[in-house]
Structure 1
């Protein structure tokens, strides 16, 4: 599975002749390519070209006399194979801004339903425009409402747009966007589980907590979040059970118990306690969630929180044990 979209940083002397010889000729021979000027003016001090492949792939190259930056969702020309990869936000800011403007314009041309959601489009750009995941990640939002049952595409997009617009995850964009994956296969289980972390983060942010993803702990691994409020730090691990109609456990309560047990026997057991387990039931339809909320089953770990969010912002849930967090239930 390919990584999210990244730059290749290529020091050395670059000229238009070298670009034609080492980049365009390679792409055209292997894929069929057109080299043209970019859609938007490149940053001052750079020359740049756009490459459109016959199979729909796109790439951009910008260079000065002594360095080039390549980004694309296509095969890498052999002249750039041994170059270093860097995240989009690790390049010079003016270059990143130009590349993102180019790619966002293409994204919105290809998927106009994303245009009303500029923050979500920008945040997930590294996967929406990735080599292997550009179709599957877009389909996850467009056709599966990002894992929400009984919700429309636009309801789900409104929900995540409003959360991402807070900027909470801006410093962690590559990490968090990358959790969706960049596979050519649409994996609803993995993608929905990834959005469970966004649901928990929105829930905690709305409760007034500062959030840091992938908190390292003394056992040598990481938990999903380190959250802090009024000087009090809490570690949070998130899990998301499949709804009963998509798993062997044929009741909502069994689905919640089994998923919590798996997490408790694994990562939380190695951590030796101290973290709060969040069980995101946002993939459960109304009837299944009502059964869970009515019984409030044990979650195999304490402290723990079972919760469900809806795209309109409603949150319901219950706790087990002494949860050291200020929650609305």
Structure 2
């Protein structure tokens, strides 16, 4: 599976001639490409080129004393052994310029995203990735990001509001990359990823700060640390069950229990933590009838403390808890 978009940095002296012979001509010879001036003004102190590849790929290159390459296409051999950097690891002007170029391309190809600038920016590394640029967009456009019986624009507006709060901005590369960059549309994995965003929203709305991907001594990573103003920092792990209509057999309650079991059995992430981690079971993929069965039956999930909830794109959240949950959720959980 290809990674999300990252820059390659090539030190040394670059000129128009070396860019043409070492970057553009190999790309053109292998795939067919056109070298153009960029759509937007290059970063201060840099020259830049945009390469439009015949198969629809795109690459950007800017240079002064060193060169920065960013593309969802074949990398020229000259750049193979160069170091890779995230958007927050390169000069700010370089990152801003590249993001303007790519957002413009994204909105030209998928104009339905133009009304949602923060969502476009946040998921840009996967929306324009080599292999996942169409599947990740399809997940939002045609599968409503995992919400059943929902309107696409309502869902997009919901996640725009979630991301625009900025609490996950510093962890954009980590969180966006979880959506995946595969040519295969994996609805289960993608919906599970959005369960983490849903849980983050629930925690933030309850007044907690969130820090993702917490490494623990067992060698696992726990999804979040929830920080309170009082200094408490409980750990939170998220799981998202498939709705019963996408399972071979079973009831809504069984779907919840079986999915939670993957986290709590002898080989699961929570096995060595006893009650030290709060398990959030996100049932946002459940249609109304299936969620009603879970909410009324309140099945155990094999771990305490636990929060079982369902979120809708209008922001409504309902659910229940099991055990002594070290989080104050009364203000957000109906």
Q: Same fold (TM over 0.5)?
A: yes
Structure 1: distance between partners of 2:178 and 2:17: 39
1:5 aligns with 2:5: yes
Report deviation, 1:272.
Answer: 4.0
Q: Tell me what 1:263 maps to.
A: 263
Give the structure 2 partner of residue 188 of structure 1.
Answer: 187
- 1:129-144 matches, cutoff 5 A: 129-144=128-143
What is the DSSP-based 3-state SS (H/G/I as helix, E as strand, rest coil) of the residue aligned with 1:200? helix
Match of 1:44, SS state, is: coil
Determine the C-alpha separation between the residues in 2 that align with 1:33 and 1:3. 23
Q: Distance in 2 between matches of 1:20 and 1:89?
A: 28
Q: What SS does the aligned partner of 2:269 have? A: helix
Once residues 272 and 62 of structure 2 are traced to their aligned partners in structure 1, the CA distance between those partners, rounded to angstroms, is 47
Which consecutive residues of structure 1, in runs of 5 or more, have no partner in the other structure? none
Aligned to 1:217: 216
Instruction: Quote the Cα distance in structure 2 between the aligned partners of 1:315 and 1:112.
Output: 30
3-state SS in 2 of match to 1:233: coil
Aligned residue for 2:286?
A: 284
Which SS does the other structure have where 2:289 is aligned? helix
Which residue number in structure 2 is paired with residue 97 of structure 1? 96
The aligned counterpart of 2:60 is 60
How far did residue 128 of structure 1 move?
A: 0.2
Mapping 1:1-329, distance limit 5 Å: 1-64=1-64, 66-229=65-228, 230-265=230-265, 266-328=268-330, 329=333
Q: Is the 8 A contact 2:306 2:322 kept in 1?
A: yes
Q: Residues 226-272 of structure 1, C-alpha deviation per residue, up to 9 Å, x if partnerless? A: 01112111000000000001112421011001111111111100334
Cα deviation digits, residues 8-35 of structure 1 (max 9, x gap): 0110111110011011110111100000
Residues 275 and 305 of structure 2 are in contact (CA less than 8 Å); yes or no, is this contact kept in structure 1? Answer: no
Secondary structure, in 3 states, of the residue corresponding to 1:52?
A: strand
Name stretches of at least 5 consecutive residues in structure 2 with no aligned partner: none
SS of the residue 1:38 aligns to? coil
In structure 1, C-alpha distance between the alignment counterparts of 2:301 and 2:248, rounded to whole Å: 18
What is the alpha-carbon distance in structure 1 between the residues aligned to residue 36 and residue 231 of structure 2? 54
Aligned partners of 1:89, 1:70: CA distance in 2, in Å?
A: 15
Cα distance in 2 between the residues matched to 1:219 and 1:311: 35
- For residues 315 and 248 of structure 2, the distance between their equivalents in structure 1, rounded to whole angstroms, comes to 30
Query: 2:240, 2:253 → 1: CA distance?
Result: 13
Compute the displacement of 1:132 (Å): 0.4
Q: How many residues align?
A: 328
Distance 1:109 1:88 in 2: 22
SS in 1 for 2:234: strand
